[in-house]
Chains A and B, each alone.
Chain A
C-alpha cells in the first residue's frame, strides 16, 4: 500500500474565493483549519508562517482565520512546526491543536505521541494533523541558489513557488520562470534520501496537488478524526469535492511517484545500512513489504 492506510480519497478544493486566490492548489489545509477554528474543533494551529527572510517560514501559532491565511501557500524549505507544538499547549494555552506537517514531521509527531518524553500532556492535545505530500525538502540556502543563482531573480520578487510537470517554478509579478527538477538534485536535505513517505501516511488528513487538476487537491482521509472534520467541512460547504481521477493523471501518477520515492529511498537505506551507518528504517531484507514505511 504505497499510499498508506486511508478511508477515502477525493479531489477537492476550498469554495472560498479568497483562499483559492492565495492557496497553493485547492487550499485544503487553509480551508480545513479555518473551518475547524470556527467550529471550535481546534483552538489554534501551528502553521508555517511568514518569517524574517523572504520565503524562510517560521512556525507560528495561528488562532484566527486571518493568521491561518497569512501562512497559506507552500514553502519549499523547512518550518520546524513540531518544535512549536509544545509552546502551543504551554504558553499559548491551547488544548486542541491543529498542525500542518510534511511526512517526516508527521512521523515525528506520531512518535512523540507514543513516547512523550519531555512533552508531558501534549499527546492528547493534538487534535488535527494535516499532512502534505512531499517528495523532498530544500534547505533555505538551496532555495536561494535556485532563485538567485540559477534563475537570476531576487527572492523578494518571488510571489509563488511550485513544483510540477518535472520543473521547479517561480512566479513573479510579470514572469514565470522554471528550472528542470534535475537541476535541483543534490540540493535536497540528506534525510529526504531515506524517506519512505510521499503522502504523509500517518496524518489525519493528507493532501497535495498530484492526482488532481490545477486549482484542486487530492485529499486522503486517514483517521476517524480526519474523516470527521473533513466530512463536516464538505457538508458545511467550505470544501467542494469530486471523485478522484483513477487514471493516468490521477491515482496512477500518485501511486507511481509514491512508489518511485520509496524504491529510491529503499535503495539508499540498504546502501547506508550495508556500510553500517545508522538509519531509522529497516533494511528491505528485514521487512515483509520492502516498501512499507517502517
Chain B
C-alpha cells in the first residue's frame, strides 16, 4: 500500500517549494516530486521595453540571497548583446565580487543546515564562525561592488569605479587573515557532516551535471541549441502537482541536470562522488578555493587601471548570454538590445535547473531523509511574492493557497 508524504513548504531554504513523496510500507520513497510554489513575478517582463541599464538594477531584486550572480549574469548578457569587451580590471573586480559572495552564500547555507549536523556543544562555535566569515567577505563586496546585497557598481561595460589602493591593501590583509579561519570552518563542517553517518548513496541520482566554469562562468560553455524547456504539466506525472508547480522545467540535451558546487567539481575537478554528502563537501571546499581566488585577485589588481569600456547602447538585437556560476549553480540570463531598449529578457536561474532533479534524488531511502536531500542542493526558489486574495468587503484573506507557513 502506498502513502503520500507532503512537506509544504520545505524549510530552511530560500523561497517556497513543496516536496511530495510516495512511500511504500517501509516508508521508503518510491517517487519524489519537488516543485516550486513561489508565484510568477514577471521581472523579465518589467525590464522589457526599458533602457538596458534598468535590467541589472531590477533583476538583482529577484532575490536577496543571490543578488550578485543575477547582477553579474545580467550585465554579462547585456555586454554580450552590445558586443562590449570589458577591461581586464573590471573583469577582476567582477570575479572578486562573485568569489566573495559565494563564500558568504555557502556560509549562510552552513547556518541553515547547522541544526541537521552540528551538536549543541559546537553550535555557538559554528555560528560564530559563519558570522565572522560572512562579515569579512561581505566587506569585500561592499568595497568592490558598492553595496553588499544589491550592488550598485556592477555596470554594463564594466564597473562604476576601481577601488583605491588603501581599499585593496586592507581587503588583501583581511581576506588573507581569513584563510586559516575558513580552513578551520570547512574542516569543522566536513567533519560534522561525516559524523552524521547518513546512509551510503543518499541523494545519488543518475543525471548529467552542467557547469560552465570552475568559479566564475563562461557563456561559451552554455549552448543554447542544447537547451529546451517544457511545462510542469508535461514533466510531473501527477496532474495536481503539474498544475500547481510554478516553474518551467529546463532540460539540456533533453535531460534534467544537476548544477551547483558538486556539478562544478565533477565537470572541472574530476570529482566523482555523488549524493548529499558529496554536495556538502563540494560546497565547503568551494569556500577554500574562492577565498584563495580573492587573495590572488587582490594581489594582481591594478587599482589605477580603467574599469569601464566605451560602448554604444543602441544594440543590434543580438541575443546576448550571461552565464555566471552562482553559489547554487549556473545562472544564465539572456538579453536582446535594439534601439537602445531591452527587447527580450529571460533568466534561467540555478535552482530551476535542479528542481526536476531534486524530487527523484529522494527516492530509494526513507522519507525522513527527504529534507536532507533537498537541503543538500541549497535550493533558492527566488524570493517569494506572497500572492493573497483579499475579500474587498470585509478585508479578510479568502484565498491563500500559494504560501502556507
Interface residues of chain A, those whose CB is within 8 Å of chain B, are: 43-44, 61, 63, 86-87, 90-95, 120-121
Contact = CB atoms under 8 A, between A and B. Distances in A.
Given A91-B161, A120-B148, A43 B142 contact: no
A75 B313 CA distance: 38
A91 B168 contact: no
A93 B148 contact: no
Contact of B162 (A91, A94, A95, A120): A91
A86 B145 CA distance: 12
A92 B303 CA distance: 10
Given A90-B146, A120-B147, 4 more contacts: A86-B146, A90-B167, A91-B163, A92-B167
Nearest to A121: B142
Given A43-B166, A63-B166, A93 B143 contact: yes
B164 interface: yes
Nearest to A94: B166
B349 interface: no
Nearest to A93: B167
26 contacts: A44-B166, A61-B164, A63-B164, A86-B146, A87-B161, A90-B142, A90-B143, A90-B153, A91-B143, A91-B144, A91-B153, A91-B161, A91-B162, A91-B163, A91-B164, A92-B163, A92-B164, A92-B166, A92-B167, A93-B166, A93-B168, A93-B169, A93-B171, A94-B166, A95-B170, A121-B142
Q: Across the A-B interface, give the 6 residue pairs with the lowest CB-CB distance, nearest first.
A: A93-B167, A92-B164, A93-B166, A91-B163, A93-B170, A91-B161
Contacts of A61: 164
A251 to B, nearest CB: 41
Interface in B134-177: 142-144, 146-148, 153, 161-164, 166-171
Contacts of B170: 93, 95
Contacts of A44: 166
A44 B170 CA distance: 14
A93 B147 contact: no
Nearest to A118: B147
A239 B236 CA distance: 78
Nearest to A86: B146
Interface of B: 142-144, 146-148, 153, 161-164, 166-171
Contacts of A120: 142, 147-148
A69 B153 CA distance: 30
Contacts, number: 41
Contacts of B162: 91
Contacts of B168: 93
Contacts of A92: 163-164, 166-167
Contacts of A93: 143, 163-164, 166-171
Contacts of B167: 90-93
Contacts of A87: 161
B323 to A, nearest CB: 27
Contacts of A94: 166
Contacts of A91: 143-144, 146, 153, 161-164, 167
Contacts of B171: 93
Contacts of B169: 93
A93 B298 CA distance: 13
A92 B164 CA distance: 5
A218 B153 CA distance: 41
Nearest to B147: A120
Contacts of A63: 164, 166
A93 B175 CA distance: 14
Nearest to A43: B166
Contacts of A90: 142-143, 146-147, 153, 167
Contacts of B143: 90-91, 93
A61 B163 CA distance: 12
A280 B144 CA distance: 35
B312 to A, nearest CB: 25
A91 B374 CA distance: 38
A121 B161 CA distance: 19
Interface centre among B146, B168, B171 (most CB of A within 10 A): B146
Nearest to B170: A93
Nearest to B149: A120
A37 to B, nearest CB: 12
Contacts of A43: 166
A138 B147 CA distance: 33
A93 B161 CA distance: 13
Contacts of A86: 146
A95 B174 CA distance: 14
A90 B171 CA distance: 11
A43 B167 CA distance: 11
A112 to B, nearest CB: 15
A43 B165 CA distance: 13
B333 to A, nearest CB: 25
Contacts of B164: 61, 63, 91-93
Nearest to A92: B164
A94 B169 CA distance: 11
Nearest to B303: A91
A44 B165 CA distance: 13
Nearest to B160: A91
A93 B171 CA distance: 8
Contacts of B163: 91-93
A61 B164 CA distance: 10
Interface centre among A43, A86, A92 (most CB of B within 10 A): A92
A87 B170 CA distance: 15
A120 B150 CA distance: 11
Nearest to A44: B166
A159 B140 CA distance: 42
A86 B143 CA distance: 10
A54 B28 CA distance: 79
